[in-house]
Structure 1
Amino acid sequence: MREWKFNHIDFSVYPFYEKDDLGVFWAPEKTLVKIWAPTAKIVEFRLYKDGATGEPFHKTQLQAGSNGTWSTVLLGDYDGKFYTFRINDGEWLEETPDIYTRCVGINGLRGMIYNPKKTNPENWENDSSPKLPHYTDAVIYETHVRDFSIAENSGIQSKGKFLGFTEEDTKTTGGITTGLSHLKDLGITHVHLLPVYDFFTVDEEKPVEKYNWGYDPLHYNALEGSYSSNPSDGTVRIKEFKKLVQALHTNGIGVVLDVVYNHTYFAKESVFNQTVPGYFYRQKPDGTFSNASGCGNEIASERKMARKYIIDSLKYWAQEFHIDGFRFDLMGIYDLDTMNKIQEELKKINPGIILYGEGWAADQSPMPEELRAVKFNTPKLPGIASFNDDFRDAIKGNHGNKKSKGFVSGLDLREESIKFGIVGATYHPQIVYDYVEPSRRAWATEPVQCINYASCHDNYTLWDKLKLSQPKASDEELRKMVKLAGALVLTSQGIPFLHSGIEFARSKGGNGNSYKSPDAINQIDWDKKVEYLEVFEYFKNLIQLRKNHPAFRIPSAEQVRKSLTFFSEYHPGTIAYSIDGKLLGDSWEKIVLLFNGTKTEKRVQLPQGKFEIIANWYSINENGLGEVENEVMVEGISFMLLKNSEQ
């Protein structure tokens, strides 16, 4: 019986292999096979005609090579055949694909040998990523492949599939745009997709019977089959995902992938442990697997071949699929050197690639926090952003406590934390950081290192959180809270991030952790867009406002400090500040933003001169909604934006 404890092993002495030829690579006349398995004594390669059943029609042993590698060459054309490895390191491990496998059959049981060129859609060679001058120009929209189109009212034919993102001009029965047309109309710049790699918990032969977000990794370089029209043929999922990317790129929208290298679904049974036992995971002092992910294991990103694997995988996605960015789940587990090397390598492929992640872990790690990519180490991660959970909780209340309130739901004394989000988690001399909860200090060097958001797939939707914390609030009051939250996120410095459906009051029926709940809970109900169309229009106009005016997307912290000034007069539950647009090259020389989180109308003194109202709680119109001078009344639960009038 194998002992899965590793405190007697010094993994640092394992050999490093630096070349980029690990995996199984097809050519018409031969297939090249190479894996890294330094502890192996025998490596057996098995070929199959089917991706799930039947006995192997061919077995061969790989030959040991340099630096822990094993390889062989199969003469002939093996396109469409399936394969596995079995390794003996003194005893036989389980049969699995290789850790680099890029194409798999049903449920990832076997790898698939394939011709990559056959997976390219027509005109793929001309596909290109949208370009933005600054990261702060991005507006990111997070969604789940299945949620996006699975509802009956989506008007989308390829429901729950990659191809659902490629359909043009889809509508509800009431004629309201959905899907890709909705994204274009809303005006977002990037779609952030929850995991699309091959994950374990959904049976690809019965894809609608179970639901999962996909944070249970099986194969990091292969795509999830339940999102394809034919999960038995691994090349279909590749081609259909490329069509998704191509459709979004054609419409000027970038694609960000949610990546979860921090842990695997299986520990002992994972492809990593069935290849090189123990190496890819951190251990506790007693040799058992440590668990900073809260899922039973955590990646040892600091080990050379683990770091190489992560970087190789990300480069593959960026090069083969033209991916525009990556979001790192539990980024606080990764070591700083690995994250910085990731940034360095990916920028060589795409200088505009967006990288961001959760600056925390889910549990204790044996690696000291000062060496990991946690939020407070963001200054050590140039070009990489962290989620601003301080701002999130200040806006709506503590994410885990359904009764807690935030600024938009009427809780006073959250003003400093809101101001912290407004300046993109950077240092500003007018913020009293002792009152910024829970951080108490700036953690971003530049606004490009801050992802501002009010909600995401985790926890309650914004609508549900507000409804639970304010059960007596009217529908109109809840709408105003959602709009106020949207105004805070979309006019603040940093990179704004929207949870899909926030723009029309998405609800999950009060479910606070829907990772495996059915479609009835998770699906985007497009009829909500009909019901809350004015909320959608408000978000759409906020996004356009942000795009039109550089004052809301300042790229440097020094410019923020020079141009953004908070009003000195304090009113509990309100925030007022101005931006010097002239300094920033904005067409508006002076801009005033007012936020009132209370239910009471507030009188605010304005700077000298006449101002044109551009936005109030109900409407946004750059042509103006009326002129004021000296002071203005700001309605309860509302946002107001003004610009200096033409003299």
Structure 2
Amino acid sequence: MEETAIRMKAYAVNFNEIRVYLSKNYYNGISSKFYLKDFEEDELLLLTGDALNSNDNPDYQEYAFHISFKMGKVYKIVDAYGLSCFLDFSRLSLCKEFDELYYYDGEDLGNTYTQQQTTFKVWAPLATDVILKIYKDDVEQLYPMKRGLKGVYNVSVEGDLELTNYVYMIRHSEDYEVSLDPYAYACASNGRCSIVVDLDKVVMPRHTMPPLLHKTDAIIYETSVRDFSMSSTSGMKNKGKFLAFSELHTSTDSGNPTGLDYLSCLGITHVQLMPINDFATVDERNPTELYNWGYDPAGYNVTEGSYVTDPDDGYKRIQEAQQMIHALHSRGLRVVLDVVYNHMHDVNLNALERTVPHYYFRRNDDGSLSNGSWCGNDLNTTAMMCRKYILDMCKRWQVLYGIDGYRFDLMGIIDQETMKLVDAQGKAIDSSFIVYGEGWNMMTALSEEKRTTIQNNRQTPHIGFFNDFFRDTLRGTNQMESKGYFSGDTYKTNDAMKAICNLEMFDNISQSINYVECHDNATCYDKLQISNYDENEEVKKKRLRLMLAAVILSQGVPFIHSGQEFFRTKGGQSNTYNAGDQVNALDWNRKDMEIDTVQFVQFLIHLRKNNRCFRYDDYEVIRENVSTANIDHRMIEYTLHQDIGEYKDFIVYFNASTNTIEVDVEEGFSLLCHSEKGKIVDNKLKVDGVCLAILAR
């Protein structure tokens, strides 16, 4: 529609106030009278009010009228010349009373299936009409829905509707918009329609996992469903699919383990999956044509169809994701799901906006969309039904699919109360549940003190945060040329000592997610090709091993990017969210070429798991038993003591300089690890340049 040709617009801006906008190209925007036409009562009510002097809309004359009206009814505004337009209720969602009037705490939104009938419920309090359209036996059938309490529209349809496709037709002013069901459990390919499924057919037994006593016992390994298996080197048949994770005895070209077998012998405890909910920019019927990581959510309630063998099969959408998680659980691996509850790919096209316009997305004071995400919109997580929706979806992924934790993308956009409720809900179901995320302070239209940022971590003591101080100090910033301690900037030695113990940043040590590499930005290997261009390949790899050792042995929670342990490369590219499989797919043959480093990581993980001093969960215990020292302004001495474990005492030397540094060794210490196979001679050890040495007693 051409906006400039619209002569009159009318909005309910409060529950007893209407604003009418009359084009100044139409009778100079002047009308002596306005009426409210009630279609249900077939009556015309004269409105009384005033013309407003406003510069906000220079092309329209604005009028304000105070009058009561009933939600769910269809009204028109009529002027003195007979011009009319429908009254639009969508702006009422911005009123402070809206949540109080229309918050719905029921657990029955979506479709509830039995063989005898299916009941459909959708929360659409601003709508004047909702029609259920189902596609059964290639025939469209329409069912008017009845408005109930709190603006929930409902209808029950007799008969067995299993695997029936459906949409909602929702009217807010003049036209109907087609919407998916935001609470459906399945949908057809590329979001064409929602699908009715029988939940009794997707119940899966859950593995009983040993409890995670402390968050610092976790060792997190991040991967993408697609990247994990897509390469021809993966040895997996179901490339880019959920089912690749349940394949057994897969191997590289040289016959060494890949996939699930590899993950289970690496020693990690948690697999963090990049988004698996339905995302927008991959054609689910032609999934190899386009690539995306999945941080472009189209829906939060169903799985991504390109990861399923048949995206039009409602049951496979659920069951193949369940099988993946079941397979990981069978190897003792918990699963963390990366969730993107900060923005949607397109405000106008998703079911949230279409069911309740203007409600689910945060607004600036001038009414424009908040854009802290830099993706065009921010989810309005303080709105009660938006918060409930996030909680309902988090519960679904945990209960139906078996998820063991969440990693929140751009968590700084989400309010602290919502995050605390997500964490409490998860732990009420599973005491070992973990929640962490990106605590960057994004410029969203939410006051800073309410944001779940790393600066506000003491307000959310049970939530973990990606530690960018740890990353930038040890590796360097995201600028390719910048150096950190382990890339040779020994001026950062003292800061690196702080990063390894993490004593000051957080309310508690388990909040520190320690990483130097993740899906975002360049891999450490690629970064060192730029920042350390003047060093040979072997020296660069020594530096990468030092970074891995620091991640695994530091106090806090270690986080490893898939392939980091065999020097993953993306050809020097940084933000590869849509760069394709050739860049992003995991090259499993590279694992064989760097098997020494993989085994080194396995050794470090074993050391961490079998010695509590590397994973203390209390700051006071750390202060009593752990210390760091600066040796020769270039090397870190990391000393640890424990009462129970393989050893009583450890001394770890991180030498990021190119100099050999000699240290005295106390009686009783033996050398567990030295990357140059050094020896203790006469109670002295020469720690080679760019080298890790671990002594134990």
User: Under a length normalisation based on structure 1, what TM-score does the superposition of the two structures give?
Assistant: 0.91
Contact 1:22 1:36 in 2 (8 A): yes
Q: In structure 2, what is the equivalent of residue 9 of structure 1?
A: 94
CA contact (8 A) 1:204 1:225 kept: yes
Which position in structure 2 is the counterpart of 1:586? 645
Partner of 1:632: 685
For 2:554, the equivalent position in structure 1 comes to 492
Does 1:449 pair with 2:511? yes
- CA-CA distance at 1:421 after TM superposition: 2.5
The alpha-carbon distance between structure 1 residues 305 and 241, as it changes in their structure 2 partners (threshold 3 A), is same
What is the CA-CA distance between 1:415 and the residue it aligns to?
A: 2.2
- State the distance in 1 between where 2:299 and 2:254 align: 41
1:597-645 Cα shifts (integer Å, max 9, x gaps): 1111112344x433111111257xxxxx85566542211111111112x
CA distance in 2, matches of 1:8, 1:58: 31
User: Hey, what's the Cα distance between the residues in 2 that align with 1:509 and 1:309?
Assistant: 40
Letter in 2 for 1:574: M
**Secondary structure at 1:459's aligned position in 2?**
coil
Instruction: Kindly indicate whether residue 350 of structure 2 is the aligned counterpart of residue 270 of structure 1.
Output: yes
Task: Confirm or deny that 1:421 pairs with 2:505.
Answer: no
Q: How does 1:196-211 map to 2 (within 5 A)?
A: 196-211=276-291
- In structure 1, which of residues 244, 248, 264 is the aligned counterpart of residue 324 of structure 2? 244
Q: Write out aligned runs for 1:15-30 (5 A).
A: 15-30=102-117
CA distance in 1, matches of 2:411, 2:97: 23
Q: Any conservation in 1 of the 2:167–2:179 contact (CA below 8 Å)?
A: yes
Q: Greater RCO between the two (CA within 8 Å, min separation 6)?
A: 1
**Matched position secondary structure for 2:300:** strand
Write out per-residue CA displacement over residues 379-415 of structure 1, whole angstroms, 9 at most, x where no aligned residue. 111221000011111121111x111111111012222
CA displacement, residues 177-227 of structure 1 (integer Å, 9 cap, x when unaligned): 111111012111111000000001000010001110000001101000101
1:46-80 deviations in whole A, cap 9, x for unaligned?
Answer: 10148xxx7x6211111111112111111111001
The answer to whether 1:601 aligns with 2:660 is yes
Deviation of 1:8 after TM superposition, in Å, equals 9.3
Is contact 2:93–2:358 with CA below 8 Å preserved after alignment?
no
- Equivalent position to 1:258, from 304, 326, 338: 338
Q: How does 1:394-405 map to 2 (within 5 A)?
A: 394-399=473-478, 401-405=479-483
Q: CA, structure 1 residues 331+618, in 2 after alignment: closer, same or farther (shift >3 Å)?
A: farther
Q: How far apart are residue 339 of structure 1 and its match?
A: 0.7
> Which letter maps to 2:263?
L
Match of 2:638 in 1: 577
Q: CA RMSD in A?
A: 1.9
2:253 match: 173
| Structure-2 separation of matches of 1:628 and 1:134 | 39
Render the CA deviation track for 1:4-54: whole Å, top value 9, x for unaligned. 99599315423111111111121111112111111111011110148xxx7
- 8 Å Cα contact 2:93-2:357 kept in structure 1: no
Q: Paired residue for 1:367? A: 446
Alignment correspondent of 1:436: none
Does the Cα contact within 8 Å between 2:566 and 2:594 map onto a contact in 1? Answer: yes
C-alpha deviation, 1:234, in angstroms: 2.2
- The residue number in structure 2 matching 1:65 is 148
Distance 1:83 1:633, change over 3 A: same
Amino acid corresponding to residue 401 of structure 2 in structure 1: F
- 1:561 deviates by 1.0
1:558-573 aligned at under 5 Å gives the runs 558-567=620-629, 569-573=630-634
Out of 609, 614, 617, which is 2:672 matched to?
A: 614
Tell me, in whole angstroms, the C-alpha distance in 2 between the residues paired with 1:421 and 1:529: 29
CA distance in 2, matches of 1:629, 1:78: 81
Other structure's SS at 2:592 match: helix
The residue that corresponds to 2:55 in the other structure is: none
**Equivalent residue runs for 1:421-440 within 5 Å:** 421-423=499-501, 425-427=502-504
C-alpha separation between the residues in 2 aligned to 1:353 and 1:12? Answer: 35
Letter in 2 for 1:371: K
Look up the match of 1:643: 696
Please give the TM-score of this superposition, normalised by the length of structure 2.
0.85
Q: Verify the 8 A CA contact 1:130 1:253 in the aligned structure 2.
A: no
In structure 2, what residue type is equivalent to 1:372?
R
CA contact (8 A) 1:7 1:286 kept: no
The reply on whether 1:513 has 2:584 as its aligned counterpart is no
SS in 2 for 1:238: helix
1:33 aligns with 2:120: yes
Task: Please tell me the residue identity of whatever aligns with 2:340.
Answer: V
2:618 to 556, 559, 564: 556
Where do 5+ consecutive residues of structure 2 fail to align? 4-8, 10-87
1:409 corresponds to:
487
The structure-2 alpha-carbon separation of the partners of 1:324 and 1:205, relative to structure 1 and needing over 3 Å to count, comes to: same
Change in 2 beyond 3 A, CA 1:205/1:422: same
CA contact (8 A) 1:616 1:640 kept: yes
Can you list the C-alpha shifts for 1:352-390, whole angstroms capped at 9, x where unaligned? 1010000014x4112111111000111111221000011
